[in-house]
Amino acid sequence: MERLQKVLAQAGIASRRQAEVWIQEGKVQVNGQVVTELGTKVDPEKDHILVKGKSIQKERKRTFLFYKPLYVISSMHDPQGRKVIPDFFRAIQERVYPVGRLDFDTEGLLLVTNDGELANHLLHPRFEVEKQYVATVKGVPDEASMEQLRQGVYLDDGLTAPAQVKMIHKREEDCKIKLTIHEGRNRQVRRMCKAIGHPVMHLVRTRLANLTVKGLKRGEFRELSASEVAGLKKLLSGERKQKRQK
């Protein structure tokens, strides 16, 4: 048995929040009865569910690795008419949505899926999913500044968790550094670099958990194989067990 709004979201017809709105508005029926109470439990395999008079069908779960270009909004729509995720997935029949977000001025790896459970696990702080970035920053940080990034930087929302940091290329006026973090604060990498006096000029997310953007060009995507999805779920399961043991 699962919550009705979760079942609707997993069917790919709406986000969980939109599904909750429809339930409260009386637009959802279960076995011929209008349901308006959030949290109502249903069996998606046995119960007959209608939304606005139409029967829902369970979608097969699909997950894509997408190389988000610069100046694309990590959302399903944008009031200002800028490019959004669905613009790149028009040929995909299922309603897929981004897992989390990459900033408008950041490019790189973004997962796009209709697997709500997987998305929730990837986003939940307790799983501490690693995210790796390559940042081109102004100037060249000295070793003390690099160590500050590794140990944690004080931001307006608190001290950041320790990060893995490595210099990968430097010139007189700028350099590239690789940062691996597991937190998901808003514009975190940019704020960390700015805090040590080396603002970010260009930022790319190159890895999420065990997945990388290798082989993809900007705007391209590929579907994860069954073994990749299984590996990702196994990794998340392993991290969850590790946290419980601590």
Neighbours of 177 (CB within 10 A): 23
What sign does the dihedral 141-147-149-153 (CA atoms) show? Answer: negative
DSSP state of 73: B
Exposure string for 57-88, b = 16+ CB within 10 A, e = fewer: eebebbbbbbbbeeebbbeeeeeeeeebbbeb
Contacts of 234 (CB under 8 A, 6+ apart): none
DSSP state of 75: S
Contact 203, 135 (CB under 8 A): yes
Catalytic residue, chosen from 43, 47, 78, 103, is 103
How far is 53 from 205, CA to CA, in rounded Å? 42
Contacts of 150 (CB under 8 A, 6+ apart): 162, 163, 164, 165
Measured CA distances, 72 to 17, 77, 117, 131, 150 (Å): 23, 11, 25, 19, 30
- The answer to whether 103 is a known catalytic residue is yes
C-alpha R_g of the chain: 21
What amino acid is encoded at 196 in this protein?
I
Question: Which residues form the catalytic set?
Answer: 103
